[in-house]
Amino acid sequence: MIFASTKNPRLRIDFSRGVFQGLAPDGGLYHPVETPDLSRLFKSLSPRTDFTDLASQVTAELLKDEITSHQAGEICGRAFTFAPRLVYLPPDPEAPENSGPAILELYHGPSCAFKDFGACFLASCMEEFLGTEKREAVILTATSGDTGSAVAQAFHHKKNIEVVILYPSGRVSPLQEKQLTTLGGNIRALEVQGSFDDCQAMVKAAFVDPVLIKRLTLSSANSINIGRLIPQAFYYLWAWIKTEQKELRFCVPSGNFGNLTAGVLAWTWGMGVSGFLAATNRNNVVPEYLNTGQYRPRPSLQTCSNAMDVGSPSNFDRLLAIFKGDWKKMREVMSGAEVNDENTLKTIAQVYREKAYLMDPHTAVGYHAGMGFRKKHPAAEPLVILSTAHPGKFAEVIEKAVNQSPPLPAALSALADKPKQAVLIDSNFQSLKDFLLKNY
Ligand SMILES: *Cc1c(COP(=O)(O)O)cnc(C)c1O
């Protein structure tokens, strides 16, 4: 599978090198050059095909020029020790002609959010490629809280890989800090006396420091990495095969639009889709673009679904690449809807009251948008709403919505008693450099 930079179609790379490079050297995002037709493979799958098996087969087909199908099985077997789940909710009493929505729960992985699918696949790929080439790498990443935990969990105990995570001291939640600092082993947490922006600046400086890049193979694991994008297509395919529908409509709570872009890729490979609904909070640049044709990125606004507070979504360039910049073509497959905080909280409360189903604020944005769409376009086939995180991760918002605390998932409550292990450093790049040179 060959990828090209969204800024320059001639800047190309294969998958196994692309996962270590992350961003293209010209600042563009890598994007698949070709559109493989996987419909033959899809026909051979059955509703009983389990998730890891489906992922292995799709990986083997996509990467057949670079890895064997045995390797694809190894990569996916190690990455996906968890799977998505489909939950059907009853129809709304007000609109019984519509079937109830299906919720695609993507939060049964180690950090209890959908980013586990991407992070675990990426970690597993890197481990495989480093093993074959007998190399080692250091993953360097800055986090403002949530995204770092998926990376930390995914790379824990991976061979030939060391991970250094920078986070701003006092500015991540206690639970997030536990997720970053209690793993030990090959995961080192640096508690930076500064802001998230300081952490990011330090990481950026490391990637261009001549001494460091000569000594170490530095790599990032951020969300735009193709090794995180590609596996996010697998759960759309799994849901589609499992429901035995010719076509599904997916509603995707979106921020940086990696999740939705992966769904659209699956569609280009032959998955049956009647459409994608891009659900956002008040950070509505993409719904606005779909409605008006005007793309106006802007500073992000704070909302209660804060993992989607993105004012300038990076993956928009990939969506443009898929649709060759054609607004009309994009609108044939995608529509958008914006949901404010008030409706997000109301939705959490209402679905909990009427259907005894508790969802997190990001999923609630998707649910509200999806139900609004269904009111206007009644149909019998299930609408699949992607659920991106466990409600227990967003206790404050849940308490506000339903007046009680959500249960914490077992994977996270187990962290409470583990000791924090972090190295406190100031926000100078030299401190990071000294740490890296001393330890690796
Ligand atoms: C990252 C995240 C999103 C947004 O996903 P994108 O791929 O950036 O659109 C939604 N919900 C949760 C819980 C997230 O962590």
Residue of 268 and 99 predicted with greater confidence: 268
- Identify whether the C-beta of residue 243 lies closer than 8 Å to the C-beta of residue 382: yes
- pTM of the predicted structure, to 2 decimals: 0.96
Q: Is 113 in the pocket of ligand 1 (CB under 6 A)?
A: yes
pLDDT averaged over every residue in the chain: 95
pLDDT in tens, 270-289: 999 999 999 999 999 999 99
Pocket-testing residue among 306, 309, 362, 394, ligand 1, by greatest number of atoms within 8 A of Cβ:
362
**How far is residue 358's CA from residue 348's CA, in Å, rounded to a whole number?**
7
Show the tokens assigned to 124.
Answer: 């597993």
Cα–ligand 1 centroid distance for 430 (angstroms): 33
Per DSSP, the chain holds a count of helices (H) and strands (E) of 20, 14
Mutate to test the pocket of ligand 1, among 103, 114, 334 (most ligand atoms within 8 A of CB): 114
Kindly report the backbone phi and psi dihedral angles of residue 229, in degrees, each rounded to the nearest multiple of 5, phi listed first. Answer: -70, -55
Residues near 214 by Cβ (< 8 Å), separated by ≥ 6? none
Span from the CA of 263 to the centroid of ligand 1 (angstroms)? 13
Is 13 touching ligand 1 by the criterion CB < 6 Å?
no
| pLDDT tens-digit readout, 38-91 | 999 999 999 999 999 999 999 999 999 999 999 999 999 999 999 999 999 988
253 lines ligand 1 (CB under 6 A): yes
CA pair distance 123, 156, nearest whole angstrom? 9
The predicted-structure confidence for 119-161, as pLDDT tens digits, reads as follows 999 999 999 999 999 999 999 999 987 788 899 999 999 999 9
Q: How far is the CA of 255 from the centre of ligand 1 (A)?
A: 6
Cα 368 off chain centre by: 21
Burial of 83 (0-12, 13-18, 19+ CB in 10 A): middle
Distance in angstroms (rounded) separating the CA atoms of residues 220 and 140: 5
- Ligand 1 centroid–CA 147 distance in Å is 9
Residue 146's pLDDT is 75
User: Whose CA is closest to 386, among 165, 231, 236?
Assistant: 236
| Atom of ligand 1 minimally distant from the CA of 393 | 13
Q: Where are the domains of the chain?
A: 85-113+227-413
Q: What is the pLDDT of residue 270?
A: 98
pLDDT tens digit sequence for 243-265: 998 999 999 999 999 999 999 99
Cα of 285 from ligand 1 centre, angstroms: 15
Element (DSSP H or E) covering residue 3:
strand 2-5
- The answer to whether 181 and 418 are in contact (CB under 8 A) is no
Q: Do residues 432 and 190 make contact, with C-beta atoms less than 8 angstroms apart?
A: yes
pLDDT at 175: 86
**Do 36 and 61 touch, CB atoms closer than 8 A?**
yes
pLDDT confidence tier of residue 178, bands split at 50, 70 and 90: very high
Mutate to test the pocket of ligand 1, among 29, 106, 115 (most ligand atoms within 8 A of CB): 115
14: helix, coil or strand? Answer: strand
**CB 255 less than 6 A from any atom of ligand 1:** yes
Share of residues in the chain with pLDDT > 70 (%)? 99
Residues with Cβ within 8 Å of 391's Cβ and at least 6 positions away in sequence, in order, are 348, 358, 359, 360, 363, 398, 406
- Protein residue closest via CA to atom 15 of ligand 1: 307
pLDDT greater than 90 at residue 309 = yes
d(CA 409, CA 183): 17
Structural contact between residues 210 and 173, judged by C-beta atoms closer than 8 angstroms? no
pLDDT at 205 over 90: yes
Asked whether the beta carbons of 153 and 131 are under 8 A apart, the reply is no
Going from the C-alpha of 427 to that of each of 97, 187, 232, the distances in angstroms are 58, 20, 34
Pairing of strands 30-32, 2-5: antiparallel
Using the mean position of ligand 1's atoms as its centre, give its distance from the Cα of residue 303 in Å.
Answer: 13
CA–centroid distance, 118 to ligand 1, in Å, is 11
Report the atom number in ligand 1 closest to the C-alpha of 146.
Answer: 15
Kind and range of the H or E run holding 289: helix 285-292
- Report which of 35, 32, 207, 59 is spatially closest to residue 128, judged by C-alpha positions: 59
Both structure tokens of 313: 């979504």
Q: 3-class SS at 273?
A: strand
Could you tell me the distance, in angstroms and rounded to a whole number, from the CA of residue 218 to the centre of ligand 1? 25
- Evaluate if residue 225 carries a pLDDT over 70: yes
Model confidence band, residue 417 (pLDDT cutoffs 50, 70, 90): confident
Residue 191 or 97, more confident: 191
259 lines ligand 1 (CB under 6 A): yes
Q: What does the pLDDT look like over 14-43, one tens digit per residue?
A: 999 999 999 999 999 999 999 999 999 999
Q: Which of 182, 102, 100, 196 is nearest to 149 (CA)?
A: 182
State whether CATH 3.40.190.10 applies to domain 85-113+227-413.
Answer: no
Q: How many residues does the chain have?
A: 440
Segment 292-320 shows an average pLDDT of 95
pLDDT for residue 339 is more than 80:
yes
Ligand 1 atom with the shortest distance to the CA of 255: 9
Does residue 362's CB lie within 6 angstroms of at least one atom of ligand 1?
A: yes
Residue 381 has pLDDT above 80, yes or no: no
Ligand 1 centroid to residue 95 C-alpha, Å: 29
CB of residue 145 inside a 6 A radius of ligand 1? no
Mean pLDDT of 198-211: 93
How far, in Å, is the centroid of ligand 1 from the Cα of 309?
Answer: 9
**Three-state DSSP state, 86:** strand
pLDDT band at 97 (very low <50, low <70, confident <90, very high): low
